[in-house]
Amino acid sequence: MDRNLLFATSSELVRVPSEALVSVRADGNYSAVRLADGSEYYLTLQLGQIERRIAEQSADGDNKFIRIGKSLIVNREFIIYINHARQKLVMSDGRSFRFEESASREALRSLREYIESISNE
Amino acid sequence: MSNKGHDIDDDEIRIISSRPQPVKPGKSSSGRRLRGALAGLFVVIAAVVLFFVLKGCSGTVAEDDAEYPSVTGGSVSGDRGFVAADSLETDSRDNDEDMALDSKTPVTQEPKGYIAMRDTTIAGARLTVYTPVDAVPELAIGVDVLADSTVLMAFQAADIRADNGQIVSAFVDHGQLISTGQSKAGFCAIIDGKITLGVADVTQYFEQALTTDGYFFRQYPLVVGNQVIENKPKGRSLRKALAELNGKIVVIASRNELTFGEFSGAMVDMGVSTAIYLVGSKSYGIVRLPDGDVLEYNLRGVRKYPENTNFIVWK
């Protein structure tokens, strides 16, 4: 069951249904949170802190979020394209938004294998 | 809380879950390392066994050993992995009998150049840096060069005029003057296989390129003396540059759309001392990486590129 994820700092709060969180990218000491409505929020949280908060607030059995390397967290439900050779990852809901992300080739190879493995289950 | 205190490498992925779940797909890098170590151990054991088996045989030993370097030499010549090539060559020279074989069996030395690639992010500018190592640069006009398998990296160099299809500003191809003009102050000269970047309306390198079968082209200057050069185009686009970084000539490509100023500023921040623009946006580029992967920028069918489309290539 989806539930709201809360990311709060001393000065701001982002509250988002977990199914609407598309990706989080590290940008120095900030994290850029991208949502399914196309909006983007910068939080003064490091990616490791975001990851821990997602883990704390996720329902049992909810493992749709994947940490990719040091700089990226993605919601696997929005992954529509992986090209490890070009280090390209495209996130989209197929209708209203489309984001391109990049990650290392090894990580994207692993991601592809994981996506294929859960698709075959 | 899962994953508390767990570091992660750039090459790894991790499933985030409320329960501790150190899930790593089958071919995680640590798994690969383990398999690599086991494979290495197996090779060592096999080599020891082979050594004792061969030692027990008489007469055929030298002949069998003598064939080994030519076989490995063949595999080396087809491999752009320079580390493996060096180590294999060293092994072949360790055997005196191999030296005799070398004298009557010419070993073709393939170029050992390769392209090193790394990604970085500076102030929101996501950049990929391609560093040619032991590769020889030159210019080429036309898309035929892209079919040359010895090309390790190629990016479009000088702009083409939309009205008449001619190359913008001065261009020298292997000592031949192809076009003239100084509308862009940045220049790249390739003399005796060495790239010189600079900014000048008049430069001796142009003459040198003509008299030494060299190469020369002009583009927008982006960075000179670690300082950003202002350029008129203000729009955002994917950017590429030929740059001098820590004494090495590199190609820097942005992975997100940037203005000239943002792109140049990020390059200065990363330590670039001199940089000129390369054709950006939808321009074509190809990089052959040491592991065999081929990266292509904006492949749209080479037949659609104008006749005078030109490239700076490394072989």
Residue with more model confidence, B108 or B58: B108
pLDDT at position A81: 94
Q: Kindly report, residue by residue over B7-48, the tens digit of the pLDDT.
A: 788 889 999 987 655 444 444 444 455 555 565 666 666 666
Task: List chain A residues with CB under 8 Å of B119.
Answer: 87, 102, 104
Strand order in the sheet with B137-141: B137-141, B310-314, B153-156, B285-288, B294-297
3-state secondary structure of B139: strand
Residue tagged 């994207």 (tokens): A108
Summarize the confidence of residues A108-121 as an average pLDDT.
87
Residue B311 pLDDT more than 90? Answer: yes
Q: Is B214:B222 a contact under the CB 8 Å cutoff?
A: no
Rounded CA-CA distance B287/B274 in Å is: 22
Residue with more model confidence, B154 or B122: B154
Summarize the confidence of residues B1-11 as an average pLDDT.
63
Residue B87 pLDDT grade (very low, low, confident, very high; cuts 50, 70, 90): very low
| H-helix or E-strand spanning residue B296 | strand B294-297
Rounded CA-CA distance B160/B174 in Å is: 19
Summarize the confidence of residues B58-71 as an average pLDDT.
31
Which of B16, B19, B26 has its CB closest to that of A67? B16
Distance in Å, alpha carbon of A5 to nearest chain B alpha carbon = 13
Residue B198 pLDDT more than 70? Answer: yes
Buried-exposed string A68-101: b where 16+ CB fall within 10 A, e elsewhere: bbbbbbbbeebbeebebeebebebbeeeebebeb
Residue B227 pLDDT more than 50? Answer: yes
Question: Mean pLDDT lowest for which of A62-71, B21-30, B78-87, B114-123?
Answer: B78-87
Determine whether the interchain pair A66/B14 forms a contact, defined as Cβ–Cβ distance below 8 Å. Answer: yes
pLDDT at position B242: 97
How would you classify the pairing of strands B227-228 and B294-297?
unpaired
Rounded CA-CA distance B35/B55 in Å is: 30
Q: Kindly report, residue by residue over B92-121, the tens digit of the pLDDT.
A: 333 333 333 333 334 444 557 899 988 888
Q: Which of A106, A108, A117, A121 to mutate to test the interface with B (most CBs of B within 10 A)?
A: A106
How would you classify the pairing of strands B176-179 and B171-173?
antiparallel
pLDDT at position B1: 39
Q: Kindly report, residue by residue over B272-303, the tens digit of the pLDDT.
A: 999 999 998 778 889 988 877 888 887 655 55
How would you classify the pairing of strands B153-156 and B310-314?
antiparallel
Q: Kindly report, residue by residue over B247-267, the tens digit of the pLDDT.
A: 999 999 998 889 999 999 999
Buried-exposed string B9-38: b where 16+ CB fall within 10 A, e elsewhere: ebbbbbbbbbeeeeebbeebbeeeeeeeee
Within an 8 Å CB–CB cutoff, is residue B29 touching chain A?
Answer: yes
pLDDT at position A89: 92
Q: Is B98:B124 a contact under the CB 8 Å cutoff?
A: no
Which of A58, A103, A111 has its CB closest to that of B17? A58
Rounded CA-CA distance B108/B111 in Å is: 10
Within an 8 Å CB–CB cutoff, is residue B24 touching chain A?
Answer: yes
3-state secondary structure of B73: helix
Residue B190 pLDDT grade (very low, low, confident, very high; cuts 50, 70, 90): very high
pLDDT at position B295: 85
Summarize the confidence of residues A39-54 as an average pLDDT.
87
The token pair at B163 is 């009205």
pLDDT at position B100: 34
pLDDT at position B51: 60
Residue A72 pLDDT more than 80? Answer: yes
- Burial class from Cβ neighbours inside 10 Å (0-12, 13-18, 19+) for residue A31 reads buried
Question: Could you give all domains of chain A from N- to C-terminal order, each with its CATH number?
Answer: 4-119 (2.40.50.1020)
Average pLDDT of chain B is 74
Distance in Å, alpha carbon of B304 to nearest chain A alpha carbon = 22
Which residues numbered 23-82 in A keep a CB inside 8 Å of some CB on B? 27, 51-52, 54-60, 62-63, 65-71, 73
pLDDT at position B89: 32
Rounded CA-CA distance B21/B313 in Å is: 47
pLDDT at position A66: 96
Rounded CA-CA distance B150/B171 in Å is: 23
**Identity at A120, one-letter amino acid code:** N
Rounded CA-CA distance A27/A72 in Å is: 10
Secondary structure (DSSP) of B31-63: HHHHHHHHHHHHHHHHHHHHHHHHHH--SSHHH
Residue A92 pLDDT more than 60? Answer: yes
Query: At what angle are helices B96-104 and B61-77 packed, to 10 degrees?
Result: 60
Which residues numbered 212-241 in B keep a CB inside 8 Å of some CB on A? none
Residue A95 pLDDT more than 70? Answer: yes
pLDDT at position B71: 26
Rounded CA-CA distance A58/B250 in Å is: 44
Determine whether the interchain pair B15/A66 forms a contact, defined as Cβ–Cβ distance below 8 Å. Answer: yes
| H-helix or E-strand spanning residue A55 | helix A47-57
**Identity at B103, one-letter amino acid code:** S
**Identity at B203, one-letter amino acid code:** T
Residue B55 pLDDT grade (very low, low, confident, very high; cuts 50, 70, 90): low
Cα A46 to chain centroid distance, Å, stands at: 14
The token pair at B172 is 């020298």
